[in-house]
C-alpha cells in the first residue's frame, strides 16, 4: 500500500508493473509498427503550429528568391518528418534545461528568516559557537553581533558558554538563567537547542527582568498588606484578651480600651476598603470611563462632605471655580474618591487653624482644553526626595503624622490609578514649611450641541 508521502510524489502504485525508462508499452492486439505510426501522427499534430510557421517562412523566401517549388516542398516535408519522428524525450530534455528549476532554499537561510520573525532575541551558532546569524532583538541586547565572530565576544557569561558547548544530540536542549549588572541590572534565561539534521544550534534568550520585578512587587504588596492588617488585629486581640481576663470586672479599663479598639477596627476596615478600591480600579484600568460628570459640582459636594472634619481641625476649605457646569468624561464614584482622598489629606496633614484652597481652572493643551483641579494646603509640606514615592502603595513619609492619623499609605496610589484610568495627569508640588499642592488634570468634555 502507498503511504501519503508516496502519493504526494506520484510514485507508481506497486500494483502497476514498473518498466525500464524508454521502453515501449505493450498494447494488446496492436503491432509495434502501428503504434509507432500512431505516435508519429500524434506528435505531428502536436507540432502543427511549428510546421505551419516553417511553411509560411519557406513560402515567403521562395517568393522573394524565386526558388523552384520542388526545393520548397522537399524542405517542408523534411521539417514535417523531423517534427513527427524526433523522440519527444529529446525536446522535453531541451525545454527542461532551458527553464531552470527553482532551487530549494538552504536550511541556514530558512532558519535565519525564522529567527528574524521571533519577538525575542535569537542567535544561530555553528557547532563551535561561531555566530552564523542573529535577529534584531539579539543585536539590541548585545549591542551588535558580528556573524563569523565567536559567541564569547557577545557574552562572557560562563553558564551560557558552557550550555553552547555542551549542547549536542545527547543534550538536545539546555536552559540556564543568569543575571547581569552592567550596564543595567537584568535577569535572563538562555535556551540552547540542538537542531537535528542541520549543523547549527539555536540560542534563544528571554528577558526575565520585568517578570522578576512584578513578582517582587506582588510579594512586597502581600507582605505589606498582611503587615498593615496584622498590626491593628494584634492590638484588638490583645485588648479582647485583657478584657476577658485580668480586666474582666474593671469598668475603667473597659471604658479606656473600647475607644482604642474601635479605632483599630476602623483602621482595618479602611485598609480593606482601600485595598478593594485599588483592585477595582486596577481591574478596569484599560476601560476609559464614559459617563458625563459635571466636575465643579462633584468637587463642591466632596468639600461639603468633608466640612465637619475640617471644622474639627479648625481648617477653612475654600472652593474657587468659574467653571460651573463644565464637564469631563469619567466615573462619578472614582472621581469622588480621588477628591475625597486629596481634600482629606490636605485637612489631615495641613496646618491646624490653616486653610485648604480648591481651585478649578481651564488650561489649554494644544488644540484641546484641560480642566485643572488643584488642592493646596498651608501645612508642613513634603521634602522633595519623597515626592516621587508618594503614589507607591503603603508609602508614608517617614516621620510624618501619617501613622498616628490612621493613614494607610494607599490613598494616593488610588488617586494615581484613577487619574491614569481617566487618561489624566497628577502633579504634586510641595515646599517644606510652606504647604503642598496636588493638581489633577482632566480633558474637558465639550457636548455636541455646544460644538455645532
Ligand atoms: P495615607 O493614608 O497615609 O494618608 P496617602 O497615600 O494618602 O496615604 O498619602 C501618602 C503619604 O503622603 C502620607 O502618609 C503623608 O505622609 C503624605 N501626604 C499626603 N498628602 C499630604 C499633604 N497634603 N501634606 C503632607 N503630606 C502628605
Q: Is the pLDDT assigned to residue 369 strictly greater than 50? A: yes
Lowest mean pLDDT among 30-34, 134-138, 227-231: 30-34
Whole-number Å distance between alpha carbons of 269 and 259: 15
Name the pairing type of β-strands 186-194 and 173-180: antiparallel
Q: Which residues contact 418 (CB under 8 A, 6 or more apart)?
A: 281, 331, 334, 335, 337, 338
Q: Tell me the CA–centroid distance for residue 438 and ligand 1, in Å.
A: 11
pLDDT the model gives residue 85:
73
102, 107, 185, 316 from 110: Cα distances, Å: 15, 5, 34, 74
Question: Which residue among 269, 277, 396 is best mutated to probe the pocket of ligand 1, counting the most ligand atoms within 8 A of its Cβ?
Answer: 396
pLDDT the model gives residue 31:
53
Q: Is the pLDDT assigned to residue 65 strictly greater than 90? A: no
pLDDT the model gives residue 199:
85
pLDDT the model gives residue 29:
43
pLDDT the model gives residue 95:
52
Q: Which residues contact 295 (CB under 8 A, 6 or more apart)?
A: 323, 326, 327, 328, 330, 335, 360, 371, 373, 442
Residue 312 confidence class, pLDDT cut points 50, 70, 90: very high
Q: Tell me the CA–centroid distance for residue 344 and ligand 1, in Å.
A: 9
pLDDT the model gives residue 425:
96
Ligand 1 lining (C-beta closer than 6 Å): 341, 345-346, 349, 377, 379, 382, 390, 395-397, 400, 402, 407-413, 436
pLDDT of 162-200, one tens digit each?
Answer: 999 988 888 889 999 999 887 788 899 999 999 888 888
Residue with the smallest CA separation from ligand 1 atom 20 is 345
Ligand 1 atom showing the smallest separation from residue 409 Cα: 8
Lowest mean pLDDT among 95-109, 219-233, 244-258, 398-412: 95-109
122, 158, 177, 213, 394 from 180: Cα distances, Å: 18, 12, 10, 15, 30
pLDDT the model gives residue 151:
92
Residue with the smallest CA separation from ligand 1 atom 13 is 396
CB 298 within 8 A of CB 339: yes
Question: Which residue among 225, 349, 384, 419 is best mutated to probe the pocket of ligand 1, counting the most ligand atoms within 8 A of its Cβ?
Answer: 349
Q: Tell me the CA–centroid distance for residue 316 and ligand 1, in Å.
A: 19
pLDDT the model gives residue 313:
92
Query: Could you give the domains of the chain?
Result: 2-100 (no CATH), 107-207 (3.30.450.20), 211-282 (1.10.287.130), 288-451 (3.30.565.10)
Written as nine digits, the cell of 272 is: 480593606
Residue with the smallest CA separation from ligand 1 atom 24 is 349
Q: Tell me the CA–centroid distance for residue 341 and ligand 1, in Å.
A: 9
Residue 75 confidence class, pLDDT cut points 50, 70, 90: confident
Residue 428 confidence class, pLDDT cut points 50, 70, 90: very high
pLDDT of 101-132, one tens digit each?
Answer: 667 678 888 888 999 999 999 999 998 899 99
Q: pTM (2 decimals)?
A: 0.64
Ligand 1 atom showing the smallest separation from residue 403 Cα: 3
Q: Which long-range contacts (CB under 8 A, 24 or more apart) does 80-87 make?
A: 80/44, 80/51, 83/43, 83/44, 83/47, 83/50, 83/51, 84/40, 84/41, 84/43, 84/44, 84/47, 85/40, 85/43
Q: Which residues contact 451 (CB under 8 A, 6 or more apart)?
A: none
DSSP run (H or E) holding 51: helix 48-65
DSSP run (H or E) holding 284: none
Q: Tell me the CA–centroid distance for residue 174 and ligand 1, in Å.
A: 50
Lowest mean pLDDT among 53-57, 143-147, 209-213, 317-321: 53-57
Q: Is the pLDDT assigned to residue 98 strictly greater than 70? A: no
Q: Is the pLDDT assigned to residue 149 strictly greater than 50? A: yes
pLDDT the model gives residue 17:
36
pLDDT the model gives residue 60:
76
Lowest mean pLDDT among 55-64, 91-100, 102-111, 418-427: 91-100
Q: Tell me the CA–centroid distance for residue 284 and ligand 1, in Å.
A: 25
Residue with cell 501619617: 402
pLDDT the model gives residue 34:
63
Percent over 90 (pLDDT), the chain: 56
pLDDT the model gives residue 73:
79
Amino acid at each position: 500500500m502507498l503511504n501519503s508521502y508516496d502519493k504526494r510524489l506520484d510514485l507508481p502504485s506497486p500494483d502497476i508493473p514498473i518498466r525500464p525508462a524508454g521502453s515501449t508499452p505493450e498494447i494488446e492486439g496492436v503491432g509495434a509498427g502501428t503504434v509507432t505510426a500512431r505516435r508519429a501522427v500524434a506528435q505531428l499534430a502536436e507540432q502543427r503550429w511549428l510546421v505551419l510557421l516553417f511553411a509560411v517562412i519557406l513560402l515567403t523566401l521562395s517568393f522573394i528568391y524565386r526558388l523552384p517549388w520542388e526545393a520548397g516542398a522537399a524542405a517542408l516535408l523534411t521539417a514535417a518528418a523531423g517534427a513527427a519522428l524526433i523522440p519527444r524525450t529529446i525536446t522535453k530534455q531541451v525545454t527542461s534545461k532551458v527553464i531552470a528549476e527553482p532551487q530549494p532554499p538552504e536550511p541556514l537561510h530558512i532558519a535565519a528568516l525564522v529567527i528574524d520573525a521571533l519577538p525575542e532575541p535569537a542567535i544561530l551558532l555553528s557547532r563551535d559557537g561561531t555566530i552564523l546569524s542573529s535577529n534584531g532583538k539579539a543585536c539590541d541586547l548585545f549591542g551588535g553581533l558580528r556573524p563569523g565572530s565567536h559567541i564569547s565576544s557577545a557574552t562572557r557569561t560562563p553558564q551560557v558558554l558552557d550550555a553552547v558547548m555542551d549542547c549536542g544530540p545527547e543534550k538536545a536542549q539546555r536552559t540556564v538563567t543568569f543575571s547581569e549588572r552592567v550596564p543595567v541590572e537584568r535577569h535572563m534565561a538562555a535556551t540552547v537547542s540542538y537542531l537535528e539534521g542541520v549543523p547549527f544550534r539555536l540560542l534563544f534568550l528571554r528577558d526575565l527582568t520585568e517578570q522578576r520585578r512584578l513578582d517582587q512587587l506582588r510579594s512586597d504588596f502581600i507582605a505589606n498588606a498582611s503587615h498593615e492588617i496584622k498590626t491593628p488585629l494584634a492590638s484588638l486581640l490583645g485588648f479582647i484578651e485583657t478584657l476577658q481576663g485580668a480586666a474582666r470586672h474593671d469598668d475603667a479599663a473597659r471604658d479606656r480600651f473600647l475607644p482604642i479598639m474601635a479605632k483599630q477596627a476602623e483602621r482595618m476596615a479602611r485598609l480593606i476598603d482601600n485595598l478593594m478600591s485599588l483592585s477595582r480600579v486596577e481591574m478596569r484600568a484599560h476601560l476609559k470611563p464614559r459617563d458625563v460628570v459635571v466636575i465643579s459640582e462633584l468637587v463642591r459636594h466632596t468639600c461639603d462632605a468633608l466640612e465637619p472634619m475640617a471644622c474639627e481641625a479648625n481648617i477653612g476649605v475654600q472652593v474657587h471655580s468659574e467653571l460651573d457646569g463644565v464637564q469631563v468624561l469619567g466615573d462619578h464614584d472614582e472621581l469622588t474618591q480621588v477628591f475625597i482622598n486629596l481634600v482629606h489629606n490636605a485637612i489631615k496633614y495641613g496646618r491646624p487653624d490653616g486653610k485648604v484652597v480648591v481651585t478649578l481652572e481651564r488650561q489649554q493643551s494644544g488644540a484641546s482644553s484641560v480642566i485643572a483641579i488643584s488642592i493646596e494646603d498651608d501645612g508642613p509640606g513634603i521634602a522633595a526626595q519623597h515626592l516621587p514615592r508618594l503614589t507607591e502603595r503603603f508609602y508614608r513619609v517617614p516621620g510624618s503624622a501619617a501613622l498616628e492619623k490612621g493613614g494607610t499609605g494607599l490613598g494616593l496610589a488610588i488617586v494615581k490609578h484613577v487619574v491614569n484610568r481617566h487618561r489624566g495627569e497628577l502633579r504634586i508640588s510641595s515646599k517644606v514649611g510652606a504647604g503642598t499642592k496636588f493638581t489633577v488634570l482632566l480633558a474637558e468634555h465639550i457636548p455636541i450641541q455646544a460644538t455645532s
